[in-house]
A and B are shown apart, each in its own frame.
Chain A
Amino acid sequence: MRIDDVKNDLRKFIVDNFYFGEELDFSDSDSFLEKGIIDSTGTLELIAHLENTYHIKVNDQDLTPENLDSVDRLAAFIEKKTEP
């Protein structure tokens, strides 16, 4: 899967799942934490989506803002996890 497709999928998931289709203005590099884009249980929903869609295992030590805190970081994390 191309990285742009991954980013589009992630953006769609966030808008549909956390904003129920409402217009949301955020860039791929925006921090979810700083911008308040994802609510308190949102990270868990996000992780479930990553595991189901990309067939990766997210370990406890992966649960850091460096891996999960923006669309860009998530896409890089998925790429790293799916490397052969």
Chain B
Amino acid sequence: MSAFDGDLWISFNGEIFNHLEIRANLERKGHQFTTRSDTEVILHSYAEKGEDCVKDFNGQWAFAIWDRRRRRLFLSRDRLGVRPLFYTRTKDVFIFASEIKAIFAHRKVPRAIDHEGLDQIFSFWCCLPPKTFFKGISELPGGHSMRVEDGRITLYPYWRLDYPNGASLTDENPDLLAEELKALLVDATRLRLRADVPVGAYLSGGLDSTVTTALIRHYTNAPLRTFSVSFEDPGFDESPFQHEASTFLGTDHQEVHCRAEDIAKVFPDVIWHTEKPILRTAPAPLYLLSRLVRESGFKVVMTGEGADEVFGGYDIFKEAKIRHFMGRSPGSRWRHLLLKRLYPYLTNLQKQPEAYLASFFKARPQDLTDPCYSHFPRWDMTAMIKMFYSPEWKERLAGFDARGLLRGSLPREFHNWDDFCRGQYLETAILLPGYILSSQGDRMAMAHSVEGRFPFLDHRLAEFGAKLPPRLKMKGLNEKYLLKKCMTDLIPKSVLTRPKQPYRAPEGQCFTAPGAPDYISELLSSKRLREEGIFQPSAVEKLLDKFRHGMAVGIKDNMALVGILSTQISADQFIQNFDSHTA
């Protein structure tokens, strides 16, 4: 679209939810519009306010504006990184797109794996932007804008997550804060229901999606269709809670039943859309779910993503709190028993002797002095899968320190924040855009042209959550305390009080069961592994043997198999045989 006689051109992916309010303001200033679209509102906002216009936007966006008179390209991405935006430059061309595969369609762009990018995924589950899995391809980080002018690229943040030290909201009146939170949630939901097509909702059976569904039900007149995934394996299945929530909220509910073989079957398609290796299979069922949504005639769904990051729901926060509590009294004979309350759904972990749990969770005083200590157990566990690298790949990575790079990228204020908030920041700034949204949320929905909308990721809620005292986010070991408090009357008690069960799916066994698709043995064959040169074929063979012989396999083994397979698929689809995959 263009405006102002072709002086401004825009390419836009996303939604500006408050475009009606911005438009009204602009009209008062004399702007005249020719359409009802939010795209035109972006152009007029830019004309009025310049690059600062993005600070007025409430939405999820990736756009580029060509400012013809200034001969400047202005690009911007939403605050929390919902919508993707990648770019590269060749000798004489700057190329940008929402998907890397679109950039690769340009014949002058070389395709190669970035070994440091892969190592970051094998450290944190995702790359640290602007780094991506592909050499020479960069990602504009969430909350950033970028100017391309006279051959120069200038990147800068227009918004930052900040956790005011000591919290700027006090917990003297939690009832008042709960009311404020509820009002914000209602408004965030109301804005996201603005659509010219029917809006559905995911209903996983957990707290967050039940909250978003309840908000739609209670505060709007929108008709309510809900969708969920159920699993064959009761260890993963949450359908009883989904049915209960659906009945309670009076929704018309549909579910897709996911079996291990379904995951193996669609996994290459999933990687085609994540555009990078992943360490868990969890995106695959969501790929199947968005297909169901699309086949049911819906193009937009509301989901609960972001609540765990913003309001302190993840087990990793609970884990850090217990570890800190233990570290303050290392000789205590009972504090470590609290570790048994972690991860009740991980039965293998529950069987561990206490001394082993304490060691694995690194709760010794010396483990707790590092400002990133909350994430050490996860990062240490993840990094163990690097043992599968081939000697040549290890050699290429000699001297590369992914963790050091991450430390260097942390905001200066990070070290002054509360322990709990530091953990929140690491989850919100790194894992949320890099994995939760990119690999599970937005990209799996968009694989079937379904647009996800995330009320909890309204920046006003993110800012409110950051200002809350940590004890109102996790009271004792009760996660998302204030969120539960403000929603008490609107959602089923069973959902409110059930122990948190993170969304998980069957892992490595999907790919090693008899009858698994042929692509798996092909891509994990010694020949193909040697051709790619990333992994040591003999080690991968031993890992596969472990699965095939039904030996006990741990989290690390599962991550290794899923990570190795998805890396091989990525190399095949995007590097070796890209043309045949796009044909």
Give complex CA distance A45, B554 in Å. Answer: 8
Q: Which residue in A21, A41, A48, A63 is a CB contact (below 8 Å) of B538?
A: A21
Task: Given the known inter-chain contacts A17-B551, A45-B551, A48-B551, please indicate yes or no for A39 contacting B384, CB distance below 8 A.
Answer: yes
- List chain A residues, Cβ under 8 A from B384: 39
Q: Which residue in A17, A40, A45 is a CB contact (below 8 Å) of B349?
A: A40
Binds A, one of B107-115, B175-183, B447-455, B539-547: B539-547
Q: Are A19 and B348 in contact (CB under 8 A)?
A: no
Nearest B residue to A43, CB-CB: B356
Chain B, interface SS category: helix
* Closest-CB distance, A78 to chain B (whole angstroms): 17
Give complex CA distance A40, B536 in Å. Answer: 24
Q: Are B546 and A41 in contact (CB under 8 A)?
A: no
* Closest-CB distance, A34 to chain B (whole angstroms): 8
Interface: A9 (CB within 8 A): no
Q: Are B556 and A39 in contact (CB under 8 A)?
A: yes
Interface: B381 (CB within 8 A): yes
Q: Which residue in A16, A36, A42, A64 is a CB contact (below 8 Å) of B542?
A: A16
Nearest A residue to B558, CB-CB: A41
- List chain B residues, Cβ under 8 A from A19: 387
- List chain A residues, Cβ under 8 A from B352: 40-41, 43-44
* Closest-CB distance, A77 to chain B (whole angstroms): 13
Q: Are A17 and B355 in contact (CB under 8 A)?
A: no
Task: Given the known inter-chain contacts A20-B543, A21-B538, please indicate yes or no for A33 contacting B356, CB distance below 8 A.
Answer: yes
Q: Are A45 and B539 in contact (CB under 8 A)?
A: no
Interface on B for A, CB 8 Å cutoff? 348-349, 351-353, 355-356, 359-360, 380-381, 384, 387-388, 536, 538-540, 542-543, 546, 551-556
In the complex, besides A39-B360, A40-B352, 17 extra interface pairs with C-beta distance below 8 angstroms are A20-B536, A20-B543, A22-B536, A33-B355, A33-B359, A34-B359, A39-B555, A39-B556, A40-B554, A41-B349, A41-B553, A43-B352, A43-B356, A44-B352, A48-B551, A65-B356, A68-B353
List 10 interface pairs A-B (beta carbons < 8 Å), by A numbering.
A21-B538, A21-B539, A33-B356, A39-B554, A41-B552, A41-B554, A42-B554, A43-B353, A45-B554, A48-B551
